[in-house]
Amino acid sequence: MKTALVLFISSALFTGIIGTAYWFVAHEPAGTMLLGFMTAALLVVAAYMIFAERDADLYADRKDATMPDAAGEHVGTYVTHSPAPFWIGVALTGVMLGFVVSPAAAGVGILALLFLGALMIVRSR
């Protein structure tokens, strides 16, 4: 995680420096704001890593780790199929097309999304 943290902090530092230099050179608000937002977004991720993941101990980060080191009782349960993504895609398309051709289609799409969301919450319990 250390490398990932360095990556986000150095990226934020870089965009912060570029943004500051850009403001003083160009006095142009749109680009400065965009670079500022980007710096802030990178800092949010870096802050999450510092405060929420600081105790994370990944086997992947140990140079001499082996597979049995990381293997517990079982590796995990994986879902290989789910109908939800396809129907979410269909519903979202309905919503987006609804904004162009018919508000009714957007309404149906939004209802479908709400239904799918509720269904996924119920099934996850």
Partner 1 sequence: MSAIAEPRVTAPERHDILSWITTTDHKRIGVLYMATTLMFMAVAGLLAVAIRTQLARPGSELISPHGYNQIFTLHGTAMIFLVIAPFALGLANYLVPLQVGAPDMAFPRLNATSYWMFLFGGLTVFAGAASNEGAASAGWTSYAPLSEITISTGLGQDFWIVGLAMVSVASIMTAVNFVTTTFIHRAPGMTMWRIPIFTWEMVATSLLIFMAFPSLTATLLLLFVDRRLGGHVFDPSFGGSPILYQHLFWFFGHPEVYVLILPYFGVVSEVISTFSGRPLFGYTGMVLAAFAIAGLSMGVWAHHMFTTGAVNNPFFAFVSFLIAVPTGIKFFNWICTMWGGSIRYTAAMLYAVGFLMNFLLGGVTGVMVASPPLDFQAQDSYFVVAHFHYTIGGGSMFALFAAIYYWWPKIYGWRLDERLGKINFWLTFVGFNVTFLPMFFMGVFGMPRRIYTYSGEGALPLLNLVATAGAYLMLLAAVVFVANIVISARRRDPAGDNPWHGYTLEWATSSPPPEHNFHRLPPIRSARPLFNIEHPEADQS
* 43 in contact with partner 1 (CB under 8 A): no
**What part of residues 61-120 is at the interface with partner 1 (CB under 8 A)?**
61-71, 74-86, 88-90, 92-93, 96-97, 99-101
Q: Which residues of 87-104 are buried (b: 16+ CB within 10 A; e: fewer)?
A: ebeebeebbeebeeeeee
Tell whether residue 123 is a contact of partner 1 (CB under 8 A): no
To the nearest whole angstrom, how small is the minimum distance from the Cβ of residue 125 to partner 1?
A: 16
| Side-chain-side CA neighbours of residue 124 (13 Å) | 8
Q: Are 114 and 91 in contact (CB under 8 A)?
A: no
Q: How many residues bind partner 1 (CB under 8 A)?
A: 57
Element (DSSP H or E) covering residue 92: helix 84-100
Binding site for partner 1 (CB under 8 A): 1, 3-4, 7, 11, 14-15, 18, 21-22, 25-26, 28, 30-31, 34-35, 38, 41-42, 58-71, 74-86, 88-90, 92-93, 96-97, 99-101
